[in-house]
Amino acid sequence: MKKALEIQKIIQKYEETGTIKGTARELGISKATVKKYLQRYKEVQNGERDRISPENEKRVFEKLISKEYDVRIIELLEKNATFPKKQRLTAQKIHRVMEEEGWKVSYSTVKRRVRIYKQTHKPREVFIKQVHPAGKTIEYDWGEVKLKINGVEKVCQMGEFSIDCSLYYYARLYSQQTLLEVIDIHQRFLERLGGVPEEIVYDNMKTVVTDNRKKKIQATFLDVATHYGFKIRLCNPRKPNEKGTVENGVGYVRREAFSLRRDFASLEEANEYLLKECEIINGRLPATRKQTRAQALKKEQELFHPLPQTPWDNYKTETRHINRYSMISVDGNTYSVPDTYLPGVIEIRKCMDRIELMEDNRIIAVHKIPEEKGKSSINIEHYAQTLQKKPGALAQSVALRTSTNSLQGLYDKYYSINPKGFLQIIELLKEYKEKQILDMAEELQEKGIRPTAEVMQNMLSQNSKPFSKPTYFYPNEIEVKHPSLKEYDILMGVKK
């Protein structure tokens, strides 16, 4: 039956229009099959063949006549057409019904008939072509990129902006998709533009939308949008065409940037490479355009709103309990807390690349966030007070053994039997950078001088300035001119 129908429709289309263009798509068959039967048709006309159909033509047409189940399938589909969309019959359900009614038909046949019916009866979806005014709309989305970072296979998250009018692209890689990453890429992009568009379009990503049905925007992100002055426009669920520029842009940038290279020493190196690739893309001339993306952006930048005077402080404030090892856990990683900090709970600021430990709105320690989960960031100077009381615990302490190799080597060579002397060097870390101390120790060793804390303190104070946080001084004596209260009495009509 299938072959007979194919032959009939192919010939009919050719005789009516003189072409077979689009026939393969309409019938759901390959172009090669259409060409084969058309060639047979021409050969019959030229007398080179006796028949178009296969040699078993009689059996094929007998099957065609006996396919009464087609009528039943169409009857079920037409009857069900008025039902709500989510309650309509599927091909699987129709096949089950027909089996119960005694029809001998395979599921694949039912599925094929249902598909053909829908192609001829379902309304064709039409899209409305849009005009994109300059300086108005920018679209944002995420995409995954598989890279090898420092020899390890990783799935990186690529955030990407596409400007509707100029088709300008900007992308950046991250290890995850949290609100901090979303805000960070917005800040970097808007600063690169030197202005703010009227609106930015998003799909229903969880970092932006907390309630898809009510279109409720995440509170912090709404504050960010208000701070920078752009409107948030959300697409309808499962409607990627509503932000088609960035949908195409994510795939385009990913292919152009990472189809020839995917090995990088670090994520930062990969981002530097991606930024250069975006510059190359933006320097090209898009089809149907008379300007490159970068040239079109320059004109569009004149229409953007100005940036706010101060950037958004991109961090998240949380609290953590300190365990008995004077450490806290944040997102699967652990960080040391200075043992001079007394409370059992500490406030932290989670930033993009670091964790800041706070006391009375003052930063008391900073840890860089490890690239991998399950790692520890421990500063040995955070345990200086405790180690003074327990010097014997220093040798095999995690604080020492996770320190730099040079610091461990200094201890093992000179202080393995004098831990208290090494603790004096640890105290120097509060005033000087570790590299300064280790360089000085190496210099003293080359001169044959034992690198004790007293000698190093003396040399460091002479050769370099101590490393300390900047101190701000404010004038104590500020003259404030107090107004005469008689003036208020006169205004209120009490005195003249």
Q: What is the mean pLDDT of residues 295-300?
A: 89
Report whether 185 contacts 160 (CB < 8 A): no
> Tens digits of per-residue pLDDT, 415-450?
888 888 888 888 888 788 888 888 888 888 888 888
Q: What is the mean pLDDT of residues 165-190?
A: 94
Q: What is the mean pLDDT of residues 457-484?
A: 58
Predicted pLDDT at 28? 74
State the sign of the Cα–Cα–Cα–Cα dihedral 356, 357, 363, 366.
negative
Report whether 73 contacts 110 (CB < 8 A): yes
> Token pair of 280, please?
């190359």
> Token pair of 83, please?
């039902």
Q: How many residues does the chain have?
A: 496
The whole model's pTM is what?
A: 0.64
Predicted pLDDT at 130? 65
- DSSP assignment of 378-400 equals --GGGGHHHHHH-GGGSTT-HHH
CATH numbers and ranges of domains, the chain: 2-121 (no CATH), 137-301 (3.30.420.10), 315-377 (no CATH), 383-496 (no CATH)
pLDDT band at 471 (very low <50, low <70, confident <90, very high): very low
Cα 231 from Cα 225, distance rounded (Å): 7
pLDDT at 193 over 90: yes
Tokens 């533009």: give the residue. 193
Predicted pLDDT at 135? 78
> Token pair of 42, please?
């021409």
pLDDT at 53 over 70: no
pLDDT band at 294 (very low <50, low <70, confident <90, very high): very high
pLDDT at 166 over 80: yes
pLDDT at 350 over 70: yes
The crossing angle, in degrees rounded to 10, of helices 107-121 and 69-80 is 50
Q: What is the mean pLDDT of residues 398-422?
A: 83
More confident residue, 240 or 230: 230
| 273-287, 357-371, 455-469, 475-489: least confidently modelled range | 475-489
pLDDT at 491 over 60: no
Q: What is the distance between the terminal CA atoms of the chain, rounded to a whole angstrom?
A: 111
> Tens digits of per-residue pLDDT, 246-255?
678 888 899 8
Residue 216 has φ and ψ, to the nearest 5°, of: -85, 125
- Which bin fits 74, alpha (ψ -120 to 50), beta or left (φ > 0)? alpha
pLDDT band at 279 (very low <50, low <70, confident <90, very high): very high
Give pairs for 310-315: CB < 8 Å, separation 24+: 311/187, 311/191, 312/183, 312/187, 312/224, 312/227, 312/228, 314/180, 314/183, 314/184, 314/187, 314/351, 314/352, 315/180, 315/349, 315/350, 315/351, 315/356
Predicted pLDDT at 54? 61
Report whether 319 contacts 348 (CB < 8 A): yes
Predicted pLDDT at 189? 95
Q: What is the mean pLDDT of residues 15-23?
A: 73
More confident residue, 214 or 348: 348
Predicted pLDDT at 145? 93
Predicted pLDDT at 118? 82
pLDDT band at 63 (very low <50, low <70, confident <90, very high): very low
> Tens digits of per-residue pLDDT, 370-396?
878 888 899 898 998 998 888 888 888
pLDDT at 142 over 50: yes
Helix (H, G, I), strand (E, B) or coil at 335: strand
Neighbours of 53 (CB within 10 A): 16
Predicted pLDDT at 364? 93
Tokens 């991109």: give the residue. 314
> Tens digits of per-residue pLDDT, 87-121?
888 898 999 998 998 888 889 888 988 888 887 77
Q: What's the one-letter identity of residue 52? A: I
Predicted pLDDT at 240? 60
